[in-house]
Amino acid sequence: MKTSSARKLKQVSLADIPRVGPGTPAGEWLRKYWFVVSAAEELYDIPKAVKVLGEELVLFRDLNGRLGLVGLHCPHRGTSLEYGDIEDRGIRCPYHGWLFDVSGQCLEQPAEPKDSIFCQKVKHLSYPVQELGGLIFAYLGPQPAPPLPRYSCLVDRGGMRQIEPVRTNDYNWFNFFENSADPCHICILHRHTGYGEQAWGDQFFSYTDMPDFQFVETDYGMKGVMTKPGPTPGTEFVDTMSLALPSIIQVGDTEFVHAKVDAVKLMTEGSQCEHVLFLTPNDDEHFTIYTVNYYTGSDPQFFEKLKAMRAAEVPKQEVKAYDSRKYMPFKGNVRQEDIMSQSTQGLLGEREERLATSDKGVIMFRRIVREAIAAAQKGERPKGVVPQEKASEVVYFDSFTGVRKAR
């Protein structure tokens, strides 16, 4: 007999997952969540064109400080509002001067007769926008909008926050996301990155002696827990990574692999940096990564050290004079290694695959995502959408990394 979960899943195929446009199964599911549309620091006093879930939009802050996200093309005759003028009450199209407030309401049409009330009838596409912890989020779905989750890395809790430079990649967002459910690639693809020079060493992510990988479904999505026997009997080394719906990855081992900090302290106290990647699918072929580090440890130089280590991680691969392969060189830089692997995969559901035992995290995660899409289709609350009664609660993801009592 089929379980109700299996019945629900029949309506959602793997090929549905990577497509984000309006009206698609995943596109409708994703429109239940808030997405980052800009780092606050990268929104200046000019309009900013952004593409989110396949929709072309323009983000701005009016001179009264209100954030607006409206359709890119003016509803009059289509000129791009990216070139508009920002005013006290909103954004003005440069072509014929129609003025729109942050709700999309047209307020002025200078070329219309003085007694015209036509502008009252023009309501441009607009979406709600909110700022939290240095990131600007937007909600593109049906009203009422759920609460913007109070993600722990964006809430001030006595630590230090750093927002890294924003990155955009030109392949499908889900290849990046589900890569975090595939930790064995760390021991293989990333073995060139010189983890041995850092606190975790290459002993944990060893090519010849890989850690044990377990995957646990959580209320926010899934976590991958990697373990090895610890330094003393009854202890274990643990490295945890969380995948939170709709598109957030929290990594715990950043200090262990990218920062030269006190190794003994790291082992005894565990990770104190939440390294969080918020992915925003721009369309089916592009996504943007907003990266936040929230550090609660005692090293005031932590972000500087992290930056210096990242800068030192340059590809160390020889490129022959006749080698014109697009992603060369990639070996020696984690991010380049990931980009090469993920961007050459093709779209999930279209590519041929032969999944193996070591793909159990990927298999589990795809099931969780398909269930979330099915829940959205049925009008239920998918994982990761915060219910109204929990609006004020801080949302934590598990990424414990360090040594603990063996379980």
> What are the residues binding Fe ion (CB under 5 A)?
338
Cβ closest to ligand FES, residue 79 vs residue 130: 79
Among 14, 40, 66, 79, binds ligand FES (CB under 6 A): 79
- For 191, the 3-state DSSP assignment is helix
- Which amino acid makes up residue 340? M
Among 48, 96, 228, 265, binds ligand FES (CB under 6 A): 96
Cβ closest to ligand FES, residue 97 vs residue 134: 97
Q: What is the nearest approach in angstroms of ligand FES to the Cβ of residue 44? A: 22
Cβ closest to Fe ion, residue 236 vs residue 338: 338
Cβ closest to ligand FES, residue 33 vs residue 98: 98
Q: What is the nearest approach in angstroms of Fe ion to the Cβ of residue 207? A: 14
Binding of ligand FES by 177 (CB under 6 A): no
Structure tokens at 42: 């990268």
Interaction partner, residue 76 (ligand FES, Fe ion, none; CB < 5-8 Å by kind)? ligand FES
Q: What is the nearest approach in angstroms of ligand FES to the Cβ of residue 73? A: 8
DSSP per residue, 320-384: -TT---TT-S-TT-HHHHHHHHHHTS--TTTS-----GGGHHHHHHHHHHHHHHHHHHTT---TT
Cα separation of 202 and 158, whole Å? 32
Interaction partner, residue 338 (ligand FES, Fe ion, none; CB < 5-8 Å by kind)? Fe ion
Q: What is the nearest approach in angstroms of ligand FES to the Cβ of residue 25? A: 34
In sequence order, the β-bridge partners of residue 80 are: 73
Helices and strands (H and E) in the chain: how many: 10, 22
Among 95, 303, 396, 400, binds ligand FES (CB under 6 A): 95
Interaction partner, residue 339 (Fe ion, ligand FES, none; CB < 5-8 Å by kind)? none
> Is the bond leading into 246 cis (omega within 30 degrees of zero)?
yes
Among 17, 52, 57, 93, binds ligand FES (CB under 6 A): 93
Cβ closest to ligand FES, residue 100 vs residue 139: 100
Cα separation of 70 and 57, whole Å? 6
Interaction partner, residue 251 (Fe ion, ligand FES, none; CB < 5-8 Å by kind)? none
Structure tokens at 317: 């691969």
Binding of ligand FES by 176 (CB under 6 A): no
Binding of ligand FES by 98 (CB under 6 A): yes
Pairing status of strand 394-395 against strand 150-151: parallel
Q: Which stretch binds ligand FES (CB under 6 A): 12-20, 91-99, 323-331, 336-344?
A: 91-99
Tell the burial category of 23 from Cβ atoms under 10 Å away from its Cβ (0-12, 13-18, 19+): exposed
- For 182, the 3-state DSSP assignment is coil
Q: What is the nearest approach in angstroms of ligand FES to the Cβ of residue 359? A: 51
Cβ closest to ligand FES, residue 50 vs residue 93: 93
Buried b (16+ CB within 10 A) or exposed e, 273-305: bbbbbbbbbbbbebbbbbbbbbbebebeebbee
Q: What is the nearest approach in angstroms of ligand FES to the Cβ of residue 245? A: 38
- For 152, the 3-state DSSP assignment is helix
Residues 149, 152, 155, 159: what is their CA dihedral angle, to the nearest 10 degrees?
Answer: -170
Binding of ligand FES by 83 (CB under 6 A): no
* Binders in 19-78 for ligand FES, by CB under 6 A: 74, 76-78
- 287: Cβ–Cβ under 8 A, 6 or more apart, which residues? 168, 169, 171, 172, 173, 176, 279, 280, 281
Q: What is the nearest approach in angstroms of ligand FES to the Cβ of residue 86? A: 15
Residue 158: how many other CB atoms lie within 10 Å: 5
Residues binding ligand FES (CB under 6 A): 74, 76-79, 93, 95-98
